[in-house]
Structure 1
Amino acid sequence: MLVLTRRAGERILIGDDIVVTILETRGDAVRIGIDAPRGVRIQRDEIVQAVSAANQDAMQSSLDAEEAERLLKKSLG
């Protein structure tokens, strides 16, 4: 991991077409702007993790429902 210290208004270049600009610092928060080609996905890690966890919960619920249905059919059959 590359660790840099930047001030407001300073930029970080990633490759030839991604620019990260430090917009503002306020206490513990840093506002950044990211300029990247439209095809580059930019996502917040906590959102990706929350969606992944929700998907796993939904999958487990689906598996639990399928198992309950199978057991019900077995006990009635």
Structure 2
Amino acid sequence: MLVLSRKKGESIVIQDQIELTILSVDGDTVKVGISAPKHVDIFRKEVYLSIQEANRESVAPQQSDLNALIHRLRGENKSE
């Protein structure tokens, strides 16, 4: 991890396209402004992790769906 010190009004540039600017520092709270192209998604980490978890849950097969698929692939019929 790269660690940099910045003061209010100072910036960090990432690959000519993303600029992080320190807007204010108040105690333990730092306000950061981010300038980036519109196609770059920017999330707070807790929101990003929540989105990832929701995506994992939406694509994970449910056990009952998985069992039904196994029965179908084996040619088994529930009515038998």
2:67 matches 1:29 = no
Using the alignment, how far apart are the partners of 1:52 and 1:75 within structure 2? Answer: 35
Aligned to 1:64: 63
Higher helix share: 1
Aligned counterpart, 2:16 = 16
- Structure 1 residue ranges (4+ consecutive) displaced by more than 3 angstroms after TM superposition: 57-60, 73-76
Counterpart secondary structure, 2:51: helix
SS in 2 for 1:13: strand
Residue in 1 that maps onto 2:2: 2
- 1:55, CA displacement in angstroms? 2.8
Number of residue pairs aligned between Structure 1 and Structure 2: 74
What is the one-letter code of the residue matched to 1:36?
A: A
Q: CA RMSD in A?
A: 2.3
Q: What TM-score does the superposition give when structure 1 sets the normalisation length?
A: 0.71
Q: How does 1:36-75 map to 2 (within 5 A)?
A: 36-60=36-60, 62-67=61-66, 70=68
Amino acid in structure 2 at the alignment position of 1:66: D
Gaps of 5+ in 2: none
